[in-house]
């Protein structure tokens, strides 16, 4: 039956469309706090830059820790219960959490800031399941020659969610409405999911009772598997350095660079994600043309590194528009996100694939906590620019090493199991 379908029918099948829309809502909700961080915390009574920076970083860390733990939870469930069960469960969790975030100003029974932290943690847990399960499902249903393009379509469309989130905040004029809309989009997405079928490769494994599925600890009990797993995580570090440090904290970097006009983190995130979306659309075609995941990722990572150097050390970045332009540049270079998650899915057998594809990107997101801690450690003595450069140097060094030494997976047959 697969052979009778055209390329267009494969790439625009219901599972691919639903995975793309699911990731769209995921990114909308994931980036929403970064966009409304200053506005929402000011409305909750914080009125100094130091307080907003400190509390905002803490809330980001709560969300990222939720993503890390949620990645493990949903990854295991994805291999034990199926890819679709994760897609349903995760979206219910983060949709309800986002609706509750919109109700924070009305909360009286608990400190509003404390409630904000824990609701973003719960949202993080829910958001952790969307991308990995979607990429795994799409990777398993598409022919191997179309996997890179298919997953790039999912990410390219999905990443525009950050752009829509920025415009939603600007047009609504109220950060709480943006949270309500995010929750509503998630609920609407559940209705679309009803017609999506489970991966055939996964169904085949379910019938093999002797095969252990979703054992997260098996990544740590085999040295070769552990090294590959760590390299999968390492590939993604530059992406979240650019987003979690240079974009989320763009108001701090803008001030340190001497830009007189205030840099808006919401607009910085929007421009970064415009670049990421374009990059993700292109990364699949680049990989397809080069017949290599590694070459495509390494080339884009190098492009992003040049952008980081220009942003931090070039005297030409002296206006908000210049900062936003480089954010778009960084996004374009780190737009290998879907490719990186696809590599994580392709490295491991069907009985561990969802666990890998879901935990790997969320482990990367979780490292933002370490990045912000390192950045805050160096900032008092070294200043904003050098502190950021130190974190960036570590992330890119690990990223290049992991990319260049991990096994190539272009054209790899995914119908195999981990022993």
pLDDT per residue as tens digits for the range 16-56: 888 888 888 888 988 899 889 889 999 998 888 888 888 99
The pLDDT of residue 253 is above 90: yes
* Residue 154, domain member (yes or no): yes
Confidence band for 302, pLDDT divided at 50, 70 and 90 = very high
Q: 189, 112 in Cβ contact below 8 A?
A: no
Q: What is the dihedral of CA 310, 280, 88, 122, to 10 degrees?
A: 0
pLDDT, residue 42, reads 92
How far apart CA 88 and CA 32 sit, in angstroms, is: 21
Residue 77 class from Cβ within 10 Å (0-12 exposed, 13-18 middle, 19+ buried)?
buried
The pLDDT of residue 296 is above 70: yes
What are 90's two structure tokens?
């995760």
What are 167's two structure tokens?
């415009």
How far apart CA 287 and CA 260 sit, in angstroms, is: 41
Residue 76 class from Cβ within 10 Å (0-12 exposed, 13-18 middle, 19+ buried)?
buried
The pLDDT of residue 224 is above 80: yes
User: Within 13 Å and on the Cβ side, how many CA atoms surround 342?
Assistant: 37
The pLDDT of residue 325 is above 80: yes
Q: Average pLDDT for residues 348-375, to the nearest whole number?
A: 86
* Residue 412, domain member (yes or no): no
pLDDT, residue 401, reads 97
How far apart CA 182 and CA 159 sit, in angstroms, is: 14
Q: Average pLDDT for residues 164-182, to the nearest whole number?
A: 91
The pLDDT of residue 195 is above 70: no
The pLDDT of residue 198 is above 80: no
pLDDT, residue 184, reads 92
User: Within 13 Å and on the Cβ side, how many CA atoms surround 362?
Assistant: 31
pLDDT, residue 233, reads 95
**CATH classification at residue 277:** 1.20.1250.20
* Residue 415, domain member (yes or no): no
Angle between helix 161-172 and helix 265-290 axes, rounded to 10 deg: 160
pLDDT, residue 2, reads 45
For 44, the 3-state DSSP assignment is coil
Question: Alpha helix (H) ranges present in 242-336?
Answer: 250-256, 265-290, 293-313, 320-333
How far apart CA 191 and CA 179 sit, in angstroms, is: 20
The whole-model pTM stands at 0.79
Q: Give the chain's mean pLDDT.
A: 86
Least confident segment among 79-83, 193-197, 343-347, 365-369: 193-197
Residue 245 domain boundaries: 2-405
Rounded alpha-carbon distances, angstroms, from residue 181 to 95, 98, 365: 10, 9, 24
pLDDT, residue 272, reads 92
pLDDT tens digit sequence for 380-402: 999 999 999 999 999 999 999 99
The pLDDT of residue 231 is above 50: yes
Rounded alpha-carbon distances, angstroms, from residue 351 to 127, 224, 279, 400: 22, 17, 30, 28
CB atoms within 10 A of CB 170: 14
Least confident segment among 56-60, 286-290, 361-365, 410-414: 410-414
pLDDT, residue 1, reads 41
Residues 6+ apart with CB under 8 A from 22: 87, 91, 130, 134, 158, 189, 193
pLDDT, residue 282, reads 86
What are 110's two structure tokens?
């608990």
**Number of domains observed in the structure of the chain:** 1
Confidence band for 349, pLDDT divided at 50, 70 and 90 = confident
Residues 6+ apart with CB under 8 A from 308: 241, 242, 246, 330, 392, 396
pLDDT, residue 328, reads 95
pLDDT tens digit sequence for 236-248: 999 999 998 999 8
pLDDT, residue 319, reads 92
The pLDDT of residue 235 is above 60: yes
């Amino acid at each position: 039956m697969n052979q009778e379908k055209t390329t267009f029918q494969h790439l625009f099948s219901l599972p691919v469309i639903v995975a793309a829309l699911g990731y769209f809502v995921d990114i909308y909700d994931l980036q929403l706090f970064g966009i409304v961080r200053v506005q929402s915390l000011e409305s909750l009574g914080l009125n100094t830059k130091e307080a907003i920076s400190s509390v905002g970083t803490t809330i980001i860390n709560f969300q990222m820790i939720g993503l890390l733990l949620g990645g493990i939870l949903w990854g295991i469930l994805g291999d034990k219960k199926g890819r679709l069960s994760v897609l349903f469960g995760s979206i219910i969790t983060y949709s309800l959490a986002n609706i509750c975030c919109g109700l924070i100003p009305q909360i009286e029974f608990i400190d509003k800031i404390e409630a904000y932290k824990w609701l973003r943690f719960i949202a993080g847990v829910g958001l952790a399941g969307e991308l990995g399960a979607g990429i795994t499902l799409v990777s398993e249903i598409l022919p191997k020659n179309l996997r890179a393009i298919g997953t790039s379509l999912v990410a390219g469309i999905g990443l525009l969610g950050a752009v829509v989130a920025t415009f939603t905040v600007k047009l609504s004029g109220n950060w709480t409405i943006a949270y309500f809309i995010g929750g509503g989009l998630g609920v609407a997405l559940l209705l679309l999911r009803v017609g999506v079928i489970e991966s055939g490769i996964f169904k085949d494994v379910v019938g093999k009772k002797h095969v252990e599925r979703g054992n997260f600890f098996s990544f740590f009990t085999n040295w070769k598997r552990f090294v590959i797993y760590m390299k999968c995580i390492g590939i993604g570090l530059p992406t979240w350095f650019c987003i979690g440090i240079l974009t989320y904290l763009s108001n701090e970097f803008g001030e340190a660079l001497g830009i007189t006009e205030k840099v808006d983190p919401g607009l910085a995130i929007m421009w970064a994600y415009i670049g990421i979306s374009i990059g993700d659309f292109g990364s699949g075609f680049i990989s397809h043309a080069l017949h290599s995941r590694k070459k495509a990722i390494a080339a884009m990572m190098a492009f992003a590194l040049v952008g980081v150097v220009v942003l931090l050390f070039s005297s030409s970045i002296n206006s908000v528009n210049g900062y936003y332009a480089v954010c778009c540049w960084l996004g374009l270079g780190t737009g290998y996100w879907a490719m990186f998650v696809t590599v994580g899915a392709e490295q491991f057998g069907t009985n561990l694939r969802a666990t890998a594809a879901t935990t790997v990107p969320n482990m990367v997101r979780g490292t933002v906590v370490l990045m912000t801690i390192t950045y805050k450690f160096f900032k008092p003595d070294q200043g904003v620019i050098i502190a950021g450069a130190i974190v960036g140097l570590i992330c890119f060094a690990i990223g290049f090493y992991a990319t260049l030494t991990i096994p190539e997976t272009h054209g790899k047959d995914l119908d195999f199991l981990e022993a």
